Structure 1
C-alpha cells in the first residue's frame, strides 16, 4: 500500500496532500539539521568533551547525564586542567566552556560579537515563556542602571518601612511568645523578598495586594517550569508541545490577570508623576500608547523584573542565613557592628546599611561559595571571534566559564578556596582604604572574573545594587531581631542541590527563630 493517499483520478486527496506536506516539512528539517551539523562539524573548535557525546549516546541521554552529574563533571574538568576549554552538553544546550582567564578580553567585545541577552533567552527558552521581552527593549536595564541607583536611598527607606510588618506576617508565631519557632527557610524568605521587591517594583497599594504578590510568585515558578518541561523535546516539536503544557496555560492565565491589575495602576498614572518605583520609570520611558499591545508590553517588562529580582535574591538570603547558623561564633560580632552603626546613624537607613562592613564581607563570602550556577558568563557568539590564545570561535557557538569552581580556586582565594573566611573582604577593604586605594572591588555588589555571582562586564546584573542592599538589610534585620539556630539535633549546613547547571540551597531546610526582646 502506498504511503500517500490518492484519489481515483490519480490526484492526491486532501489527506494525501496533508501527508505530502508533512513529509516535506520533515525532510526539510532533516536536511537543514544535517547541513547545520556538517557546517558545525567542519568549523567547530577542536576541544575535548566532558560528559556524554550527544551524537553517540543520543541528545536525551547526554542531557540527562549532565542534569544528574553536572557538579562532578565540571569539578573534574576544572581539577584536571582549569586552563583548557572543553565541550559539554548541558541540560539545555551544547556549550564551549572557556577558562576564566579569557573573561577580561571577552567582556570588552561588543554585543554585535557576543550577546548575553540572546544567551539568557536561549537558556530559558524565552520564546515560549515571554523571557524574550529582553530582546525587544532595554528599558528594564536602563531603569535599573539609572533611576534605581539614583533613588536607592528612597527605595531602601520604603522597604525598611514595610519590613517589620512583613516579618510579623510571615513569622507570626515569633511575635506571639518568646519561644523558638521553626520555619521553612526557602519558602519563608521567598515570600518576604517577594513583598520587599514589590515595594520597589510597583510602589504603594500593589505591594500589599495579595493577588499581585501571588501572581508574581506563580509566574516566577511557571516560567522556570515551562523551560524545564520543554528542554527534553527537540526544537521542531517544542512549538507544538508547549501548547499542551500546564505551565503554559498557567502562565497565560496569570499574565492576563497581571495585565488587568497593572492596567488599572498604569491608567491611574501619567508620565512624570514622580512615583519612586520601577513601574513609574518604565511608564516614563514607554514611547508607545496604552492600547492592548502597549499594556501587554509593560506587563511583560514588569513581570520579568519581578522574576529576575525575587528568586535569586531569596536564594542569596537563604544561603547567607545557612552560613550564619553554621558559624554561630560570628553572630555576636555582626550584631555588635549593627548596634554601633545604628547608633551612629540614629535609625535604619541606606547609609547605616552601607556602613556595616563586616556584614558586607560575610555576605560576599557566602555569595562566592554558593554561586547560583555551575557555569556562568554565558554568551552567544554572533560573529566569529579570535581569542588571545589564537583559538577561533565561530558564530553560533554558546560559550560559558566554570564560575562555580573558579570561585573556589585556592590560588584566587587562599588558603583553601572552599573555606569560609567571613572577614576576607572587610580586611581587604580596610587594607585598601589605609593605602588610599579604592575599596569598591571588595564590596558585596562588585563582581570579578573569579566571582561571577552578579555576572561581569557591561552585562552584569543591572539591579545588583538594590539586590545587595536588600540582602544586607534582611540579614541585618534577622541578626538584630532574632536568635537563629538549626533544628534540634542538626549541627551542619545542608548540602546544596545541584540540578543541571543550577545550584540551590536545600528547599526543605527549616531554621529555628526566636525573637530577641529588648528592654
Structure 2
C-alpha cells in the first residue's frame, strides 16, 4: 500500500517573510548588479538592440513586443548566436545548426530553464523532472488509445453545455469555455476520474492557471533584485498561495482515499503511474508535478484550440470542407485509425500551431556547468539558451509564403512525405513541440484530445468572426502567447 505523507497545515512552498527579504534587500541587489556588470563585459556575442543603452528598456522591449524583437534579431544576425535581454537576464539565441550538438548535452538542463522562466521560486511552477517525463513516455503514452471512448463521451457532453445549439449566429467567448472542457479531460488523464468530476477542483485548476499567468505578468517587469520585496505588494501572490494550499488539501485527501482503497484508475492516470513507480512518494512532491501539469497541459491545449477556432473563424469558407472530411470518416466511434484519416484537420491544426504557437521560443536549456561549443564559443554556468521558433516558422526559406495562413499547407506536404509534417511531428525547422529528448512528452495525448474536440465541433457548428472584425489579435508577453 502506498505510504502517503500528508501535511494538513497551510503551507508556503515558495515564499518567505517580507521582513527577512526587506532586511536582505541590499545584498541581492548588490549581487545582481555585480553579476550583470560582470556578465555583460564578458558576453561573447552581440546583443539585440544594443544601441539602446538602458538595459531595462531593452527588457521592456522584449516584454511588450517579443515577436518583433525575435524577428528583428533573427534577420539581423542570421546563423550567428546573439544575446537577448529578458526579465530573467540575458539569454543566448542559437541557430538550428546547434540543435544536434546540444539536444542531449549533459551540461544543459531543460527543467532548470523552464523553472527559471516560470519563476518557480515565486509561482511554485517549474519544469517536469526527468522521472516524470520518463513516466509519460514509457507508461502513460502507450495507454492514450484507451482514453478514446472517454474523450468522445466527455467532449460530446461538454460541447452541448458550453456551446448550446442556436438557430442563428450567436456571439460567444471561446477561451474560458474551451479551458473548462480541456480541464475536465486533462484532469482525468493527469489526476484521475474522481477529480475530473469534482467541480471544485476544475474551478480551482482554471483559476490557478489565470493567477499564475497574471502573477508572472505583474512580477516580471520589476528589476530582478527588487522582486523579493515587490511580490508582497502584488495581489496575485496571496491569491496564488491560497489556491496552492487548496490544491494541497485536495490532493492529500485524494491520495489518502486511494491508499485506503488500494485502487487505481482505469486507464491509469499520470498520478497512478507516479505512485506505482514510487510507493513512498510525498504529497509535497506530487503537488509540484500536478500543478505544473495544470499549467502546461490545460493552458497550452486550451490556447491551441482557441487559436485554431480563431483561424477557422477568419477563414470560414475554407474551414467548412473539414465537415466533409469528418463525416466521411466518422462511424459513431472514434478510433486511432479513424482519427489518423483526418489529414486535412491535422493540417489545419499544424498551420495554426506554426503561426500561433503558445510559445514564441522553444528548445530552452540552462547550463549547469561551463561548456564549449564546437565553434569554440564558451558557455558559462547559468547561461540560458533557446531557439527563436516563431521567427523560424515565418521564414520563407522553410515555408513558402510563410506569413500567409494556408490551412492545407501540411496536407499537401504530406503527399510527398506521408510520415512527416503531422501535428505531433518535430524537426529542425518544425519546433513548436521542442526538439530532441525533451520534445513535449504530452503531445500525443493533446493530439487526440484536440482532434476529437475539433471533429465533434465541425460536425455541429459553423464559425466566423463577427461581421467586419479581423482575426483576433494575439496577446504576447515575452515568449508566451495568450488569447
- Measured against the shorter chain, the TM-score band is 0.7 to 0.9
Counterpart check, 1:266 vs 2:255: yes
Counterparts of 1:332-371 in structure 2, within 5 Å, are 332-343=320-331, 346-371=332-357
Match of 2:411 in 1: 426
Counterpart check, 1:448 vs 2:444: no
Q: How far apart, CA to CA, are the structure 2 residues paired with 1:22 and 1:145?
A: 41
Moved more, 259-268 or 455-464: 259-268
Q: How far apart, CA to CA, are the structure 2 residues paired with 1:208 and 1:98?
A: 44
Q: How far apart, CA to CA, are the structure 2 residues paired with 1:133 and 1:384?
A: 21
Match of 2:136 in 1: 144
Q: How far apart, CA to CA, are the structure 1 residues paired with 2:312 and 2:21?
A: 59
| SS of equivalent to 1:472 | helix
Match of 1:116 in 2: 110
Unaligned runs of 5+ in 1: 1-20, 434-438, 506-519
Report if aligned partners of 2:32, 2:224 keep a CA contact under 8 Å in 1.
no
Candidates 478, 486, 489, aligned match of 2:468:
489
How has the CA–CA distance of structure 1 residues 302 and 87 changed in structure 2, closer, same or farther, with 3 Å as cutoff? same
Counterpart check, 1:323 vs 2:311: yes
RMSD, aligned CA: 2.6
TM-score (norm 1): 0.82
**Number of residues paired by the alignment?**
461
Larger radius of gyration: 1
Candidates 171, 183, 191, aligned match of 2:180:
191
- 1:43-68, CA deviations, whole angstroms, 9 ceiling, x for partnerless residues? 422x22213678x4143x33223222
| SS of equivalent to 1:89 | strand
Report if aligned partners of 2:29, 2:225 keep a CA contact under 8 Å in 1.
no
How has the CA–CA distance of structure 1 residues 27 and 312 changed in structure 2, closer, same or farther, with 3 Å as cutoff? closer
Q: How far apart, CA to CA, are the structure 2 residues paired with 1:153 and 1:26?
A: 53
Match of 1:510 in 2: none
Candidates 54, 57, 79, aligned match of 1:57:
54
- 1:320-346, CA deviations, whole angstroms, 9 ceiling, x for partnerless residues? 112222222333432122122213xx5
Q: How far apart, CA to CA, are the structure 2 residues paired with 1:274 and 1:500?
A: 38
Q: How far apart, CA to CA, are the structure 2 residues paired with 1:93 and 1:254?
A: 29
Q: How far apart, CA to CA, are the structure 1 residues paired with 2:253 and 2:288?
A: 15
Match of 2:289 in 1: 301
Unaligned runs of 5+ in 2: 1-19
Report if aligned partners of 1:158, 1:199 keep a CA contact under 8 Å in 2.
no
Cα offset for 1:99? 1.8
How has the CA–CA distance of structure 1 residues 268 and 443 changed in structure 2, closer, same or farther, with 3 Å as cutoff? same
| SS of equivalent to 1:183 | coil
| SS of equivalent to 2:363 | strand
Candidates 85, 92, 99, aligned match of 1:96:
92
Counterpart check, 1:465 vs 2:463: no
Cα offset for 1:139? 4.1
Cα offset for 1:37? 4.1
Counterparts of 1:244-255 in structure 2, within 5 Å, are 244-255=233-244
Candidates 359, 372, 397, aligned match of 2:358:
372
Counterpart check, 1:156 vs 2:148: yes
Cα offset for 1:22? 10
Match of 2:12 in 1: none
Match of 1:284 in 2: 276
Cα offset for 1:378? 1.6
Match of 1:512 in 2: none
Counterparts of 1:2-81 in structure 2, within 5 Å, are 29=28, 32-33=31-32, 36-37=35-36, 39-41=38-40, 43-45=42-44, 47-51=45-49, 56-59=53-56, 61-81=57-77
Cα offset for 1:42? 5.1
Report if aligned partners of 1:86, 1:96 keep a CA contact under 8 Å in 2.
yes
Q: How far apart, CA to CA, are the structure 1 residues paired with 2:245 and 2:347?
A: 42
Q: How far apart, CA to CA, are the structure 2 residues paired with 1:159 and 1:456?
A: 28
Report if aligned partners of 1:96, 1:397 keep a CA contact under 8 Å in 2.
yes
How has the CA–CA distance of structure 1 residues 154 and 48 changed in structure 2, closer, same or farther, with 3 Å as cutoff? same
Match of 1:8 in 2: none
Q: How far apart, CA to CA, are the structure 2 residues paired with 1:84 and 1:133?
A: 28
| SS of equivalent to 2:193 | coil
How has the CA–CA distance of structure 1 residues 342 and 35 changed in structure 2, closer, same or farther, with 3 Å as cutoff? same
Q: How far apart, CA to CA, are the structure 1 residues paired with 2:271 and 2:113?
A: 26
Cα offset for 1:122? 0.8
- 1:464-495, CA deviations, whole angstroms, 9 ceiling, x for partnerless residues? 111111121111111111121222333x3233
Q: How far apart, CA to CA, are the structure 2 residues paired with 1:181 and 1:326?
A: 16
Report if aligned partners of 2:252, 2:283 keep a CA contact under 8 Å in 1.
yes
- 1:84-135, CA deviations, whole angstroms, 9 ceiling, x for partnerless residues? 222221233321212222223221322xx1111111111111012112474x
Q: How far apart, CA to CA, are the structure 2 residues paired with 1:315 and 1:77?
A: 26
Match of 1:128 in 2: 122
| SS of equivalent to 1:49 | coil
Candidates 266, 270, 273, aligned match of 1:275:
266
How has the CA–CA distance of structure 1 residues 167 and 23 changed in structure 2, closer, same or farther, with 3 Å as cutoff? closer
TM-score (norm 2): 0.87
Q: How far apart, CA to CA, are the structure 2 residues paired with 1:34 and 1:486?
A: 49
